[in-house]
Structure 1
Amino acid sequence: MEPRKMTAAEAAQQLRRPTGDDGVKMGVQMSRSNRLIYEMTLDFLQLKTGDQVLELGMGNGHFIPALFEKENNLQYTGLDLSDVMVQEAIVANADAIRAGRVQILEGTADTIPFDSGVFTKVFAVNVLYFWQPPTVTLQEIYRVLLPEGEVILAFRTRRTMEKLAFVDHGFTLYDTETVQEMLQNIGFRVTEIQTAVEPPKAAADGSMLVQLENVCIRGVKTLSSI
């Protein structure tokens, strides 16, 4: 007997916060479906020697080794809402954790568990849709960044995601201009925006073929306070 297919609402919940065995499977599927936007983001990060990097919503940690291929001398912290993804990421990156180069934590992006002015870069790939409200998380990102530190948000545009059935269940979709305005309202200086359209592929829940537009946007923390 074939396994029962998830409903759109169930898929949305697993995409937001993977749980149980289905969550582990969804984490693998997200690693596949997010490959191109992650590769784009890793180039866009422009990692430098000594960077202190925080990723919000790192999922199963599949792409963490690729950061160190870009720049070996950095410290990485991953924070995720899902206990299942945290455990998967810890197992997948055990050697780097033992070496003190990586730490993986369970927590929420709206209350980042670090002092102010800790990180040189904070980035998030395909999780902006779940921040409710986004301004709270963006203020937290601003707080934990050092002066002139950078936030890099990678997301897919509203017009290329709105036909997906699961986005009707807890997703807030954005266009580039709205995200740029949100960052500027917090106090970030937007310095670079990059876009790319992916080849057609299966949606993360396997429901349909999609052609998604990826956006990376860079905001720099200004010296003035929010």
Structure 2
Amino acid sequence: MEKPAMSAGDVASQLRRPEGENGIKVGFAMNKSNAALYDMVLNCLGIKPGDRILEIGFGNGHFIPALFEREATIRYTGLDMSETMVAEATRENQARISEGSVQLYLGRTEEMSFAAGTFTKVFAVNVLYFWDEPAVALKSIHRVLATGGELVLGIRSRDTMQQLPFSAHGFTLYNEEDAKALLEANGFRDVAVHTAMETPRMSADGSTMVEFENICLRGIKF
């Protein structure tokens, strides 16, 4: 007997914090759905030799090798609040973990305990929606960034996210003006915004065609 399809609320919960068998399936789905936005974020990130990079919400770690393809000398740290995703990403990136270039941690952005000024760059893809206290999360990021360090956030706009039924369940949606103002209000300066439209594609449930507006924001800690 087939398991019933997940409800919109169930999908939203798994996107926030993937867990168990369904969480693993959602993680694989995100690898495909986030590919264009992730590539856009990496372009905005402008990785340099020796960068110390923190990714918040790395999922199953599928995209971690893409950072090293751009620059082999980086040190990568990942933080995710899903035990399932930490386990999957650890399995997928064991070689780099063993050699010391990748470290993965279980935890929440608002409570991370990395030392002040640890990272030259921090980024997150499709995570901003899930911060219940975004000001607290951004202040935590600001603390762990070195002076001159950069925060890069990749999201999809409110107008296009509203095409997806699950976004009505626990998502805080933003358009570019809202997101930029949020970064500026929490200590980030020279906030730059880039937008791009994805090629239209069928929604995951096959019910409609969707076209996403991707937004990449980059702010600097002075």
TM-score with structure 2 length normalisation?
0.97
3-state secondary structure, aligned to 2:5: coil
1:177, distance to aligned residue in structure 2 (A):
0.7
1:157, distance to aligned residue in structure 2 (A):
0.2
Tell me the distance in 2 between the aligned counterparts of 1:205 and 1:117: 43
Residues 71 and 167 (structure 1 numbering): CA distance in 2 closer, same or farther, change over 3 Å?
same
- 1:48-81 deviation per Cα after TM superposition (whole angstroms, max 9, x unaligned): 0110000000000000000000111000001001
Tell me the distance in 1 between the aligned counterparts of 2:161 and 2:186: 26
Tell me the distance in 2 between the aligned counterparts of 1:214 and 1:85: 24
Tell me the distance in 1 between the aligned counterparts of 2:52 and 2:95: 19
Residue of structure 1 equivalent to 2:173: 173
Residue of structure 2 equivalent to 1:67: 67
- Structure 2, unpaired ranges of 5+: none
Q: Is the 8 A contact 2:194 2:216 kept in 1?
A: yes
Tell me the distance in 2 between the aligned counterparts of 1:200 and 1:159: 15
Residue of structure 2 equivalent to 1:82: 82
Tell me the distance in 2 between the aligned counterparts of 1:206 and 1:108: 33
Q: Which moved more, 1:52-61 or 1:189-198?
A: 189-198
1:142, distance to aligned residue in structure 2 (A):
0.3
- 1:97-135 deviation per Cα after TM superposition (whole angstroms, max 9, x unaligned): 001000111100111120111000000000100001111
Tell me the distance in 1 between the aligned counterparts of 2:213 and 2:205: 17
**Number of aligned residues:** 222
Residues 67 and 17 (structure 1 numbering): CA distance in 2 closer, same or farther, change over 3 Å?
same
- Structure 1, unpaired ranges of 5+: none
Q: Is the 8 A contact 2:122 2:141 kept in 1?
A: yes
> What pairs up with 1:15-94 in 2 under 5 angstroms?
15-94=15-94
- 1:141-176 deviation per Cα after TM superposition (whole angstroms, max 9, x unaligned): 000000010000100000011121101110000011
Residue of structure 1 equivalent to 2:5: 5
Amino acid at match of 2:160: T
3-state secondary structure, aligned to 2:91: helix
3-state secondary structure, aligned to 2:72: coil
Tell me the distance in 2 between the aligned counterparts of 1:45 and 1:66: 12
Residues 192 and 46 (structure 1 numbering): CA distance in 2 closer, same or farther, change over 3 Å?
same
Q: Is the 8 A contact 2:60 2:89 kept in 1?
A: yes
1:191, distance to aligned residue in structure 2 (A):
3.9
1:207, distance to aligned residue in structure 2 (A):
5.5
Tell me the distance in 1 between the aligned counterparts of 2:202 and 2:99: 37
1:210, distance to aligned residue in structure 2 (A):
1.2
Amino acid at match of 2:164: L
Q: Is the 8 A contact 1:33 1:204 kept in 2?
A: no
Between the two proteins, what is the percent identity of the paired residues? 50
Tell me the distance in 2 between the aligned counterparts of 1:26 and 1:200: 20
- 1:168-220 deviation per Cα after TM superposition (whole angstroms, max 9, x unaligned): 11000001111111111111113421111001123456654311000111000
- 1:33-57 deviation per Cα after TM superposition (whole angstroms, max 9, x unaligned): 0010011111111000110000000
Tell me the distance in 2 between the aligned counterparts of 1:121 and 1:24: 28
